[in-house]
Amino acid sequence: MNMPEGYGTRLARTLTMSPDPAIYTSGETWQDERRQVFAASWQYVGDARSLARTGDHLTASFAGYRVLVVRQSDGGLKAFHNICRHRAAPIVEADGYARSAVLTCPYHRWAYGLDGGLRTTPEFGDVAGFRCEDHGLLPVHVEDWRGHVFVHLGDSPESLEGALTDLPGLVGERPLERCELFDSWYVDFDANWKFTWRTMSRVITCLRFTPPSMPNWNQAPS
């Protein structure tokens, strides 16, 4: 293929130099990214082994979206937007793992079953035409890949296996299912997500900041 003159140089500059600063500060860009990146791709949310028993659930947040993943009595997983159908309060407020037999909104105590169905609406009274079965939690696609839980907010997502591209092949026969959550830690960065991602994912940055005490940080265990 014949490339326009100077194309290679321009491409190299685009890949290696700083992009337009506006992509880090524009609210419009951020809203586009929420919809077109985070809500349109599989997102890792947690560890399936921590959801072993009926009613175990995890909550996770990304890009302003809140999701709730619940272990069902038949052993499967269901996921929902973590938003009450009454006044949109979060059903489970803190991110993390917990267990309950019923999912009760802390605001006005609407109660949902583990399958997301609305069961009771205390003190709501008789509202003409209102039916609990029309106001269950809004479902989200969920997959358990080898013990790791992913969700997708879109209507008809690509398969998770397809989205993982070459990761399954790279992992191979390693016993991923036996991995347990050992610890977790969270860091709040007062920065646009792309800045954080770019800084953390670039090998040249790791090489610059990896301490001498970790000389073999980038080598596979023998």
Q: Is 107 in the site for ligand FES (CB under 6 A)?
A: yes
CB closer to ligand FES, 134 vs 190: 134
- Residue 55, by phi and psi: left (phi above 0), alpha (psi -120 to 50) or beta? left
| CA 171 to each of CA 90, 178, 184: distance values in angstroms, whole numbers, following the listed order | 36, 13, 22
Alpha-carbon distance 108 to 114, whole Å? 18
CB closer to ligand FES, 136 vs 147: 136
Q: Is 84 in the site for ligand FES (CB under 6 A)?
A: yes
Is the distance from CB of 39 to CB of 63 less than 8 angstroms? yes
**Which among 49-57, 81-89, 162-170, 180-188 is the span making contact with ligand FES, rule CB under 6 A?**
81-89
Q: How far is the CB of 107 from ligand FES (least distance, A)?
A: 4
CB closer to ligand FES, 114 vs 164: 114
CB closer to ligand FES, 111 vs 206: 111
By CB under 6 A, what part of segment 135-194 binds ligand FES?
none
**Which among 60-68, 106-114, 167-175, 213-221 is the span making contact with ligand FES, rule CB under 6 A?**
106-114
Q: How far is the CB of 84 from ligand FES (least distance, A)?
A: 3
CB closer to ligand FES, 49 vs 119: 119
Of positions 49, 78, 108, 141, contacts ligand FES by CB under 6 A: 108
Q: Is 87 in the site for ligand FES (CB under 6 A)?
A: yes
**Which among 15-23, 37-45, 82-90, 206-214 is the span making contact with ligand FES, rule CB under 6 A?**
82-90
Q: Is 110 in the site for ligand FES (CB under 6 A)?
A: yes
CB closer to ligand FES, 86 vs 194: 86
The contact set with ligand FES (CB under 6 A) reads 84, 86-87, 89, 105, 107-110
